[in-house]
Structures are given as structure tokens and as C-alpha cells.
Amino acid sequence: MEQFCLEARGIEHSYGKEKVLENVTFSIAAGSYVGLIGPNGGGKTTLIKILLGLTKPDAGKVYVFGESLSNYKKKYHLGYVPQQVSQLENSFPATVSEIVKTGRTARVGLYKSFTNKDKEAVNTAMEITGVSEYKDRLIGKLSGGQKQKVFIARALAGEPKVLFLDEPMVGIDIVSRESFYTFLKRLNKENGITIVFISHDLGVISEEVETILCLNKKLFCHSKSGEVSIDQLIEDSYGKKVSAVRHIH
Amino acid sequence: MLEIFDHLFMQRAFLAGILIAVTAPIIGIFLVVRRYSLIADTLAHVSLAGVAIGLLTKTYPLIWATVVSAATAVGIETLRKSKRVYGEASVALFLQGGMAVAVTLISIARGFNADLFGFLFGAIATVSETDLYFIGILALVIVLAVFFHFKELFAVAFDEELAQVSGMRVKAFNTALVVLAAIAITVATRIVGILLIGALMVIPVLSAMQFSRSFKQTMGISIVVSLASVVVGLYASYYLDIASGGAIVLMALAIFFVSSIINKSN
């Protein structure tokens, strides 16, 4: 039987009178690479925040590895890279390695120090994201792309089983994007991390991910990327006839 | 230089000063990086209401100052979290409300103006043995709390949302931080004075940020800056017969300007 790492059942949410999510139900298999697409204001970020426990839905439930999210003790299994990290004005006086370590804090636990195993996990996270070379630099001195990698390293330091990335390409140059997609694919294939990735880059979504969730308040589609017409999906959810175009690098 | 230690009150003032110099920046750094700097000032102003209760009831004012500012800290955090009002508006609400209570109590009980001046601006001669014990216990609480929860306070300070996603009890740590700030303020009341405590929690951290290469280094440098400000400020207060709070904060400001110039020229 297929193991689901994440399930959303009947999620509903409103901001005031405006309904942003209507009866959203889906499940994500462990080890999959999922792209979440939809127009601005379609509820993508709200859905991610509900899946992460940051926002309480008006109705519905989230299950992580079969257990209700509110009862799930090992929340560090959910890694998160928020929106527009690269554009953050960050005067926080901390080095890259100090920040990456914060991703491990919950796993270490209260009144406990970082063990060698924890330090090793932090170092591994920095190595696979390529931030080791500037681990002693202040976060505020880094470029947008470098900051993005630091936040991913931070998320990986907790050895997550599911990694959420909310519009991770904003503020990243085109050359870095290509290698970033390759990196995400490697994380998914080699490290077995389930990836849920919100993007407006529809061309990339159509080519890179295995499973597509198309959301505009309601879930329009949840299927394997090769099995659906991305243009039809876009038309259904965005309400306009547009085409997904792969970026030329 | 050392003859001022012939006076018992100066020995007490220096001991209290050293405790303040260590505790103010180790809490202040978390407030500064979280853009909470004004909370220190608000809690300090509100603690005046506690001092007034103490003077009015002829009970130990610093206990009341601790209770009132800690309760206010919890109130600000609860209101901020509820998002019913903007974060800075909740701070302003308590600042004005606390001052209103303090002024009312002071006007009810006329006649403790001299005592009040010391609490407002700091007075080295007023540190009693009881104060020293009280300050020592509170300082120990702060140092132990930061020592044992440094990694959690740091993670929450860096990004509250990310800390929450990983399962950390963000609300508890936020409340703990503002309560620790309230305690640090009480620790500093006797020497620095209510009106200037906020500055000692913030300015040494800003000076340290000009040179720091890491968060821990920023904390270390800010303690050194704070210690230098307190020691020089206390000497100045004794020899020039000026309010200790003013002298300490002016020294901290001088260090900040020099460090800013050095940083700019580098």
C-alpha cells in the first residue's frame, strides 16, 4: 500500500468573508516531487501554511504520515523555505552556520546541546547546498541566491522528510535557477525527500515535477504531470488561455 | 582611582553595575534583532507604576516593579499575538497606560519626590544590601535562562515562523523573552534609572553589531561595551556628582559613535 506523507482532507479557509480555500482534499505519496500551481490569490501560500500548521483552517484536517498534524510530535520532519527569502533585507548579525544550525534546534530538544551527530547533519546540509565555503560569513553579506541556499540548508539540517518551497525562484538569476532545479531533483531522487514546490514558473512545473496540484480556491487537478495537458490546466485554473513556456537558458 | 572603593555604597554600586552590564545586553540583543527595542523602554516606564506602588504602600519597590513590568510584558505579547492591534500600537498602549497609572499613584502620595528621582535617573548611593541580593538573584535567573535556552531564543529570534514549523514552542519563548526583559529592567533600575534602562539594553548591542562576525560574538562584544560604559559611567557619576544613569548611557553612546565611525572608515 502506498504510504502518504501528507494528506489534506476537506480544507476550507476564509479571510473575512472571502473564501480562499474550498474543500481541498488530496494526498501526497512519500518520495514524490509535487508542484503546486495556481493564480495569485488562489490560496497556494495559505494552503502551504495550513499544511505546516502555521494557519488553522476553518474546516478540514491535515495528516502527516497518517497522524493528525496537531498531534504529530516530530514536526521537524517538515522543512520549509518561505517566500522571497532572497529579497529579505537581513541585518541579522549571524553567520551562515549559526543560521543553518537553527534548523536543527527543535530536533536537538530542550536542555540538550548539539551532539556530534547534530553537527554532522548541519555540515552535511551546508555541503549539499554548497554553502560551506561561506559558512562563516554574515547572512546579510550574501547575494539573493546564496541566501536562498542558506535557507534550504537550514531546512535540510533538520533532516526533513517533506520539504516545502514557496516560490523559491523569486529574486534568483536565470543561471542559478537551472542549477537549483537540478539540485532539487537530486534531493528528491538521491535523498528521498518529498518536495512540495509552489511556483509561477509554469514551464518549469510542467517539465520538472512528477505530480501537479492545480489550485484556485478549489483543487482543479491532482495528477501526474505527464498525464495532463498543462495548457488546459492553466486555462481551467487561471481562467485564461495561456501557454506554459520553458525558459531558454 | 581605587579610593572610591573605600566607600561601601560604591562597592555595592559597582557590584550591581557589573550585574547590570552583563544582563542588559544578553537580553537586549534578542530584543534588538527582533525589532523589539521599544519594548524595553515601555516595560521600564511601566515599572515606574510598580515603584510608585511600593513607595505608596511602603513595601519593597523593586518587587512591585518586577511584578508590574513582567505582567505588562505578558500583556504586550498576548495583545501582539492576538493581532487585534498592530505590534507597535500595543507597545504604545501599555507605555501610555503604565505612565498614566504611575503618575496617578505618584500624585496620590505626595512626598516621595527624592526617592523617585533616584529611580528615574539612577543613583549610585541608593543601592542597599537588600537591593544587591535582589539584583543578584534576578541576574542569575536571566543568565541561567539564556544559558539553557540560548539555541531556542536564537532560533525564534531569527525566524519565528520557521521555528514554529519545526515544532518549537514559539509562544512560550516569546513570552519568556519579554518577561526576562522585564526582569533585566528591574535589575538595572537602581543604577541606570527607569528612563534610561532601555538605552543600556540597546546601545551596546548596536555598537557590537558594527564589528561582529557572528551572533555569539555580537553578544560578547556588547557585554564588553556595556561593562566599559557602566564602569566609566560610575566613576564619572562619583567624581562629577552626576546621575549615574545619564553618565552610563552617555558613555555607551560615545562608544557607539566611535564604533560607527571606525566601521564606516573600514
Using alpha carbons, select from A147, A153, A150, A145 the residue that is nearest to residue A187.
Answer: A153
Please check whether the domain covering B2-198 is classified as CATH 1.10.3470.10. yes
* CA–CA separation, A241 and B40 (whole Å): 55
Strands A59-64 and A4-15: antiparallel
**Count of beta carbons in the 10 Å neighbourhood of residue B79:** 18
Q: What letter does residue A246 receive in the DSSP assignment?
A: P
pLDDT at A249: 40
| pLDDT confidence bin for A204, thresholds 50/70/90 | confident
Please indicate, yes or no, if residue A205 is contained in any of the structural domains: yes
Q: What whole-number percentage of chain A has pLDDT above 90?
A: 53
Task: Please tell me which residue, A226 or B194, carries the higher pLDDT value.
Answer: B194
Q: Does residue A187 fall inside a structural domain? A: yes
Answer yes or no: do A106 and B167 touch at CB < 8 A. Answer: yes
**A233: pLDDT confidence band, cut at 50, 70 and 90?**
low
Q: What whole-number distance in Å separates Cα of residue A206 and Cα of residue A220? A: 15
List of chain B residues whose C-beta atoms are within 8 Å of the C-beta of residue A80: 161-162, 165
Indicate if the pLDDT at residue A206 is higher than 90: no
Q: Which of A17-31, B84-98, B203-217 has the lowest mean pLDDT?
A: B84-98
How many domains is chain A built from? Answer: 1
CA distance B116 to B130: 18
Answer yes or no: is pLDDT of B22 > 90. yes
**Cross-strand partners of A61:** A9
C-beta separation of A59 from A11 below 8 A: yes
Residue B2 banded pLDDT, cuts 50, 70, 90 = confident
CA separation for the pair B181, B74 (Å, rounded): 11
Report the residue from A52, A94, A108 with minimal CB separation from B158: A94
- Residue A57: pLDDT band with limits 50, 70, 90: very high
Model's pTM, two decimal places? 0.90
Q: Per-residue pLDDT for A245 more than 60?
A: no
Cross-chain Cβ contact B165/A52 below 8 Å: yes
pLDDT tens readout for residues B110-123: 766 667 888 888 88
The domain that contains A108 carries what CATH number? 3.40.50.300
Give the residue from B152, B162, B170 with the most A CB atoms within 10 Å of its CB, the best one to mutate: B162
Instruction: Tell me the ipTM for this assembly.
Output: 0.88
Residue with cell 515606574: B48
Query: Angle CA(B23)–CA(B67)–CA(B196) in degrees, nearest 5?
Result: 45
Containing domain of residue A213, as a range?
4-238
- Which residue has better confidence, B243 or A50? A50
- Alpha-carbon distance A138 to nearest alpha carbon in chain B (angstroms): 7
Strand partners of residue A211: A34, A224
**Residues B9-18: what's their mean pLDDT?**
93
**How many Å lie between the alpha carbon of B232 and the closest alpha carbon of chain A?**
27
Asked if the C-beta of A149 comes within 8 angstroms of chain B's C-beta atoms, the answer is: no
Comparing A93-97, A204-208, B175-179, which segment has the lowest mean pLDDT? Answer: A204-208
Q: What is the mean pLDDT of the segment spanning A189-198?
A: 91
Helix (H) / strand (E) containing A33: strand A33-37
Mean per-residue pLDDT of chain B: 90
| Partner-chain residue, chosen from A53, A98, A110, that has the shortest CB–CB distance to B214 | A98
Interatomic CA distance for residues B65 and B71, integer angstroms: 10
Q: Quote the pLDDT of residue B121.
A: 84
pLDDT in tens, A80-126: 998 867 556 567 899 999 999 999 999 999 999 999 999 999 999 99
**Pairwise pLDDT comparison (A229 vs A140), residue with the higher score:** A140
A-chain CB neighbours of B165 within 8 Å are 52-54, 75, 78, 80
Q: What is the mean pLDDT of residues A224-249?
A: 60
pLDDT for B258? 96
What pLDDT does A88 receive? 63
* B-chain residue closest to A70, CA distance: B167
Q: How far apart are CA B60 and CA B189, in angstroms?
A: 13
Q: What are phi and psi of A216, to 5 degrees?
A: -145, 85
Q: Note whether A102 contacts B163, CB cutoff 8 Å.
A: yes
Phi then psi for residue A74, to 5 deg, are -95, 65
pLDDT for position B27: 96
pLDDT > 90? residue A77: yes
All structural domains of chain B with their residue ranges: 2-198
Q: What is the pLDDT of residues B36-95, one digit of tens each?
A: 888 888 999 999 999 989 888 889 989 999 999 999 999 988 888 887 777 778 888 888
Chains A, B: CB pairs < 8 Å = 78
Contact at CB, B159 and A102, closer than 8 angstroms: yes
Torsion of CA B210, B212, B216, B219, to 10 degrees: -30
- Is residue A39 one of the residues assigned to a domain? yes
Among residues B119, B93, B95, B116, the alpha carbon closest in space to that of B106 is found at: B116
Closest-CA residue of chain A to B32: A92
C-alpha to C-alpha distance for B23 and B31, rounded to whole angstroms: 13
- Evaluated on CA atoms B200, B202, B208, B214, the torsion sign reads positive
Q: What is the pLDDT of residue A247?
A: 45
Three-state secondary-structure class, residue B193 = coil
Nearest-angstrom CA–CA distance, B24 and B40: 10
Question: Which has the higher per-residue pLDDT, B82 or A78?
Answer: A78
**DSSP state, A138?**
B
Residues of B contacting chain A (CB within 8 angstroms) = 33, 148-149, 151-152, 154-155, 158-159, 161-168, 208-209, 212-216, 218
Residues in A touching B204 (Cβ below 8 Å): none
Rounded average pLDDT over B178-205: 91
**Residue B112's pLDDT is what?**
63
Provide the CB-side half-sphere exposure for B107 (13 A, CA): 6
Orientation angle between helical segments B61-82 and B129-158, nearest 10 degrees:
10
Per the CB < 8 A criterion, the answer to whether B200 and B250 are in contact is: no
pLDDT for residue A107: 95
Residues of chain A with C-beta less than 8 angstroms from the C-beta of B149? 110
Long-range contact set of residues B142-148: C-beta below 8 Å, sequence gap at least 24: B142/B23, B142/B26, B142/B27, B142/B180, B142/B183, B142/B184, B142/B187, B143/B22, B143/B23, B143/B26, B145/B176, B145/B180, B146/B26, B146/B27, B146/B180, B148/A111
C-alpha distances in Å from residue A143, one per residue of A128, A134, B62, B135: 18, 11, 48, 45
Interface of A with B in 55-114 (CB under 8 A): 73-76, 78, 80, 82, 91-95, 98-99, 101-103, 105-108, 110-111, 114
Q: What percent of chain B has pLDDT over 70?
A: 98
Q: Alpha helix (H) ranges present in chain B?
A: 8-33, 37-57, 61-82, 87-108, 113-121, 129-158, 160-165, 170-192, 197-209, 215-240, 244-265
Q: Which residues of B touch A98 (CB under 8 A)?
A: 154, 214-216
Mark yes or no for CB contact A93/B209 under 8 Å.
yes
Question: In the prediction, which pLDDT does B114 show?
Answer: 64
CB contact under 8 A, A94 and B149: no
User: For position A195, what pLDDT does the model report?
Assistant: 94
Would the pLDDT of B197 be above 50?
Answer: yes
What digits encode the pLDDT tens for the residues A112-121?
Answer: 999 999 999 9
CA-closest candidate to residue A94, choices B29, B103, B139, B91 = B29
Contact B214 A74 (CB under 8 A): no
> With bands split at pLDDT 50, 70 and 90, how would you rate the model's confidence at A210?
confident
